[in-house]
Amino acid sequence: MPEVQVRKGEPIDRALKRLKSKLETEGIMDEVRRLRAFETPTQKSRRKAKINAKRAKAKKGRFQMA
């Protein structure tokens, strides 16, 4: 569970922004949005295919010689 320490003299707005960015990078907000409503089997397979394509593209770029 991500947490953010509010520093002395730091505005709450800035601490909330750091927390939101941390949640976004860890994918927690996407998971919450996904679990909020029922997902049909077709939607589930499309989502997984999209994630796998993104992962394959990143992996291909990582091992490509420049």
pLDDT tens, residue order, the chain (66 aa): 889 999 999 999 999 999 999 999 998 988 898 899 998 999 999 999 999 999 998 888 776 665
Considering the domain boundaries, does residue 51 fall inside one?
Answer: yes
- Kindly state whether residue 2 falls inside one of the protein's structural domains: no
Record the tokens describing residue 47, joined without a space: 């989502």
What is the token pair recorded at 1?
């569970």
CA-CA distances (angstroms) from residue 15 to 22, 25, 34?
A: 11, 16, 25
Question: Is residue 33, in this structure, part of any structural domain at all?
Answer: yes
- Assigned domain for 3 exists: no
CA distance 53 to 29: 21
Say what the pTM is. Answer: 0.55
Phi, psi of 57 (to 5 degrees): -65, -45
Tally of domains in the chain:
1
Domain range for 48 is 12-63
